[in-house]
Amino acid sequence: MALSNWDKKAQATFAKILEVVPEPMRDAMQPQLIAMIEGKAKGAQVTDAIIEKLVREDLPEPQKSVIMGALGMSSAAPPAREPAAAAQISWQGESEQMVEKIMGVIPEMLRGAVRPKLLDFIATKAGPGGSVTENMVVDAIKEMKPPEPFFSQIMTLLAAGSGVDLSKADAILARYKGKQEALLSLLHEVQREYSHLPKPVLNKVSEVLSIPLSAVYRIATSYPAFSLGPKKKHLVRVCDGVACHLKDSGQVYDELSKKAGGAFTLEKGRCIGCCGLEPMVSIDGECGDARWAQEKITQL
């Protein structure tokens, strides 16, 4: 692209800037940067001073700090350090490993600026002395939203690490894009496809429907038909409707939990529709009373 109204020093400075722009973004960023710089010049010849002024005043972080460092401009960002709040939080599950996976996607030249910013987002979500969960990391990266193509690459990487095939979810989500009112129907389809509601899919549901992830989880955990974890070979559901609850369904649940081994998913549910010998239990869709359930579990 011709830079006819640029002096030679400005052209050399611009070439340095392009060198630090990640290659996947370079073709898209080059015309945008030229337009911004020439707009800053307001018709005058583009000089080194105009480019430096634009970098200082108009570029967002973390790109600003990275470019200032590459050009040797004064007051460049100091070496990155973890925020004090992040150093005090504890990590649950795979949350810390998720952060390292995210950093692996970000180009090395940008990591020094991106990491502390991401940790600040995460620390804010965890709160003072709080524990960081995987969902907090996902929420933080979605709110921070690094530029493309890195954001999409990060979300794909996190989903792949979970072992969930998101291509099935993509086909379902394509039919519901923009239809927030159809959230329940969408979740039912996801449940039928995966036999439960995987966390990476719920993250995509939140993104595609523009519904807060907390609201999606609230719906997903409010209905006994939905499950956040994969079902095991046998599903045992203890009725906890009013009649069964009054006849100690909680005690039945505790007793069955001692007998139900690794092949059983045991859960409480609202009325399962086979009243008569409360408290009632359903095993793989077949109903009976508590004594029947104990014998059935022993046989399976």
Q: Give the separation between CA 45 and CA 40, rounded to whole angstroms.
A: 10
pLDDT value at residue 163 = 61
What are 289's strand-pairing partners? 280
CA 115, distance to chain mean position in Å, is 17
Supply the pLDDT for residue 81: 45
Q: Which two tokens stand for residue 76?
A: 């460049």
CA atoms within 13 A on the CB side of 126: 25
Could you give the CA distance from residue 211 to residue 194 in angstroms, rounded to a whole number? 21
Please give the pLDDT value at position 78.
Answer: 45
pLDDT at residue 74 in the model: 67
The whole-number mean pLDDT for each consecutive block of 10 residues of the chain, a chain of 300 residues, reads 83 87 76 88 91 85 75 59 55 84 79 82 83 84 78 76 73 89 92 84 88 88 78 82 87 86 80 83 88 88
Cβ-based burial of 233 (10 A; exposed 0-12, middle 13-18, buried ≥19): exposed
Determine the pLDDT at residue 292. Answer: 92
Q: Is the pTM of this model over 0.85?
A: no
- Taking residue 113's Cβ as centre, other Cβ atoms within 10 Å add up to 19
Pairs from 189-197 (Cβ < 8 Å, separation ≥ 24) = 191/225, 191/226, 191/227, 193/168, 193/169, 194/164, 194/168, 194/230, 195/227, 195/230, 195/231, 196/226, 196/227, 196/228, 196/229, 196/230, 196/231, 197/226, 197/227, 197/228
